[in-house]
Amino acid sequence: MRKLFLAAALAAVSSAASAAGVDAGRYQSVLGDCEGCHGKNLAGGVELMTPFGKLVAPNITPDKQTGIGNYSGEDFRLAMKAGIGPGGKRLYPAMPYPAYAKMSDADVASLWAYLQTVKPVRRAVDVNQLRFPFNLRFMMRGWNMLFFRPALYAHNAGKGAAWNRGAYIANGPAHCGTCHTAKTMMGSDKGMALSGASLQGWFAPDLTGDRNAGLGGWSAAQVVEYLKTGRNTHSIASGPMSEVVEHSTAQMNDADLRAVAVYLKDLPASDGNGGGASGVEAQMKSGAGVFRMNCAACHSFNGRGDNVLFPPLAGNALVRQSSAETLARVVLAGSKAVATPAAPTGPGMPSFAWKLNDAQVANVLTYIRNNWGNRAPAVSADTVAKIRKSLQPASH
């Protein structure tokens, strides 16, 4: 009887321990934003538009036929950290294995433990829809050889524990650089890390300490508030970042968010955004008129928003990026901000494409980028025209 009781107690301890392991693994999936590409149920299907064609995120549920139910722990570790699937199949770096390579084996193992507990979903996904020759997976061997330098995260002894934790999360599981670091024509990182990059029709903004386009004007607490709620006094997350906030950062614990903020706030300033526009008096004058008629009702005449619902344009780093791609897109197509439990509204900006022509959009963007203390390059009607064209549904 006593023995039986002991055995039961041991079983309880062991299942509690594995439950804790699964919880830790679930948290790794939050840090890594797996849902962002693989979908809410992880059965894949989210399309990623790359410069090389379309990739579709695969099913990573434990279904044996269509998911990763036949993977071993080592298969999973290799896929995560070396970009090599079972049988030596090369993954594309849209799966951010160059970042995941920095993760500790323990974190990858707990993520694996969690993924094995997810409900299996039978769903075959046609992953590789890249254009020739990029659809040839063996090409990735060469890419890896040229550009992939797998390395575990290296502790920086000169920095504190929070900084190191933040650097680990940002560059490892959270893979911030996948969007925020510019890429070469070959898809490898170039230039200064996290200084902003264009992808999928959006410009992922500069996260460095630059006071104009980066996070130089944000306090660490404001970085935390943004990642946790999707908004702060400077900005509000929309576009691809709203998905990152919803699936990942809003669910990170406060200590990790503070660590990320400590790390980001310590990034040296980038080269900046190229400076303010000059010789554009006519654009500024026209833009002021467009702004009064169309934008001021929400963003207010002084560009300060209302500090509750509508984001400011004055002092908003997103407005001052070197590229106005995101701004033009939002004006033309509209955008819906993220809704989080702490800020559930998720306000939307409607489309103005039917109402404003390319020159008007260019003028109002030039105006908001160079008013109220903002300084950023002018926007041309040609740039707007290109973005407008890219937003039109492809003809069949």
Partner 1 sequence: MAKLLPKRDAVIIGLGWTGAILAQQLTEAGLNVVAIERGPWRDTPTDFNVAYMQDELRYAIRKELFLKPSVEAMTMRNTVAQTAMPMRDYGSFLPGDGVGGAGVHWNGQTWRFWSSDFSIRSHLAQRYGAARMNGLMLQDWGVTWNEIEPSFDKFEYLCGISGKAGNLKGRVVPGGNPFESARSRDYPTPPMKMSYAPTLFAQMVKEQGYHPFPTPSANLSTAYVNPLGVRMGQCTYCGFCERFACGNYSKASAQTTILPVLMKKPNFELRTECEVLKVNLAPDGKMAKSVTYIDAKGVEYEQPGDIVVICAYALMNVRMMLLSKIGAQYDPVTGQGTVGRNYCYQTGSGARMFFEGKHFNPFIGAGTLGQTMDDFNGDAFDHGPLDFLGGGGINCVVTNGRPISNRPTAPGSPRWGAGWKKATIEGYNSSMGFSAQGSSYPVRENYLDLDPTYTDRHGRPLLRITFDFPDNDIRMSHFMSDQLEKISKPFGAKVTTVSRAKKGWDAVPYQSTHNTGGAIMGGDPKTSAVNKYLQSWDVPNVFVIGASAFAHNAGMNPTGTVGALAFWAAQAITTKYIKSPGKLVRA
Contact positions vs partner 1 (CB under 8 A): 294, 297-298, 306-310, 334, 336, 339, 341-352, 354-355
Q: How far apart are CA 233 and CA 156, in angstroms?
A: 32
Give me the least distance between CB of 330 and partner 1, in Å please. Answer: 12
Nearer to partner 1, 276 or 334 (CB): 334
Give me the least distance between CB of 307 and partner 1, in Å please. Answer: 7
Of the candidates 50, 228, 24, the residue with the CA atom closest to the CA atom of residue 134: 50
Nearer to partner 1, 271 or 306 (CB): 306
Give me the least distance between CB of 342 and partner 1, in Å please. Answer: 7
Give me the least distance between CB of 335 and partner 1, in Å please. Answer: 8
* Under 8 Å between Cβ of 231 and 311: yes
Strand 47-50 and strand 53-56: the pairing is antiparallel
Query: CB count, 10 Å around CB of 124?
Result: 13
- C-alpha angle 209-214-216 in degrees, rounded to nearest 5: 45
Nearer to partner 1, 176 or 384 (CB): 384
Give me the least distance between CB of 359 and partner 1, in Å please. Answer: 17
Give me the least distance between CB of 204 and partner 1, in Å please. Answer: 23
Nearer to partner 1, 188 or 351 (CB): 351
Nearer to partner 1, 105 or 306 (CB): 306
Give me the least distance between CB of 372 and partner 1, in Å please. Answer: 19
- Which residues have C-beta within 8 Å of that of residue 255, sequence separation ≥ 6? 165
Of the candidates 244, 211, 249, 246, the residue with the CA atom closest to the CA atom of residue 227: 249
Q: Which residues pair with 337 in a beta bridge?
A: 238
Q: How far apart are CA 357 and CA 382, in angstroms?
A: 11
- Which residues have C-beta within 8 Å of that of residue 91, sequence separation ≥ 6? 79, 83, 84, 85, 97, 140
Nearer to partner 1, 64 or 336 (CB): 336
Query: CB count, 10 Å around CB of 376?
Result: 26
In this structure, which amino acid lies at residue 171? N
Q: Which residues pair with 257 in a beta bridge?
A: none
Nearer to partner 1, 218 or 310 (CB): 310
